[in-house]
Amino acid sequence: MKKINVTVTGGLGRMGQLLIKHTQKDKNLKLFSVTEYKELKKGKIKYQKNNDKAFKGTNVIIDFTRPNCTLDVLKLAVKFKKKIIIGTTGFQKKHWDAIKKASKKIAILQSGNMSLGINLMQFVSQILSKGFINDYQMEIHDAHHKKKIDYPSGTALMLGHAVASGKSKLFKKIKGKIFLNKKGKAIPNKLNFYIVRKGKIPGTHSVIFENKQEKLKIEHTAHSRNLFAEGAIGAVKWLANKKPGLYNMHHVLGIK
C-alpha cells in the first residue's frame, strides 16, 4: 500500500505536536511537511510557512489552527486539489461560507471534535431531544483548559445543533444564555450553556434534560488529547480516496 503524504499545519501547537507524533508512528502515513507562522528547524522537523512548496506534494492536510489561518490553508488546498481535515473551531459565517464553497472542489472533513465518544454522544443527543417535551430544562456544560479561547467550544456547538435538530428547530431559535465561569438563571425552554475555562482540562462535556420529576445527563470526558489526534489520523485514511464534498466524523463512523 502506497503511503499517504500528510501535511500538519500549526505544527508548534499542542495538537500539532501530537499530530506529528501520530503521523510518524503510523506505517501507512508519511509526514510530508509541517507548517507554522515562521520558518525554523526543531530536532528533525523542518517548519515552513504556508506556501506552495509545503502543500504541492502532499495528499491530505490536517489543520488544527485558528479560523483565519484555516482560510489561508484552504486556499492552498483548493489551488493544489488537496484533501483537508479541519479540526479548527471558533468559525464565523465567512469561514463557514469559504469551507462550503471549497468543498465543491475538494474533499473536506470538518469536525469540532474527532473523538468516537463525542460523535456518538452527538448522535444520541439528537435522538433524546426528540423525546423530551417542553417542560424539560435543557443544558450543555462545556469545560476546557484555561488557554482555550472560543466558547462555547466547537464540541458544545456540535451537541447544541444536535439538540436543536432533534427538536426540528434552528439552533439560534433555541439557544439560551451562555454563562462563563459562573452560575446564572437559565432561560426556560431554551438551551443554556455553562462554560468553564480553567486548569489543564482536555475537555468534558455534558448534555442535560431535567424537570421537577427527573434528570437525564450524558457526559463525555477526554482523558488525553491523544484521543483527538487518533481520531484525526483515522479520518485521514478515510478521506484519502474520497471525492469532493463536505464530510464529518459521522461519515467516518458510518452513523450518518
Set 148, 169, 190, 242: catalytic member? 148
> Using CB atoms within 10 A of its CB, is residue 14 exposed (0-12), middle (13-18) or buried (19+)?
middle
Instruction: Locate 231 and state its grid cell.
Output: 481520531
Let me know if 148 is a catalytic residue: yes
Contact at 8 Å (CB) between 228 and 93? no
Set 82, 83, 141, 144: catalytic member? 144
What span, in angstroms and rounded, lies between the C-alpha atoms of 211 and 131? Answer: 14
Let me know if 200 is a catalytic residue: no
How many CB atoms are located within 10 Å of the residue 18 CB? 21
Residue 141's DSSP bridge partners are: 194, 206
State the DSSP string of 233-244: HHHHHHHTTPPS
Helix 226-239 vs helix 14-25: crossing angle, to nearest 10: 60
Look up residue 112 and give its DSSP letter: S
Question: How far, CA to CA in Å, does 142 sit from each of 145, 188, 250?
Answer: 10, 19, 21
Sheet holding 245-247, edge to edge: 40-42, 45-48, 29-35, 4-9, 60-63, 83-86, 107-110, 245-247
| Catalytic residue positions, numbered | 144, 148
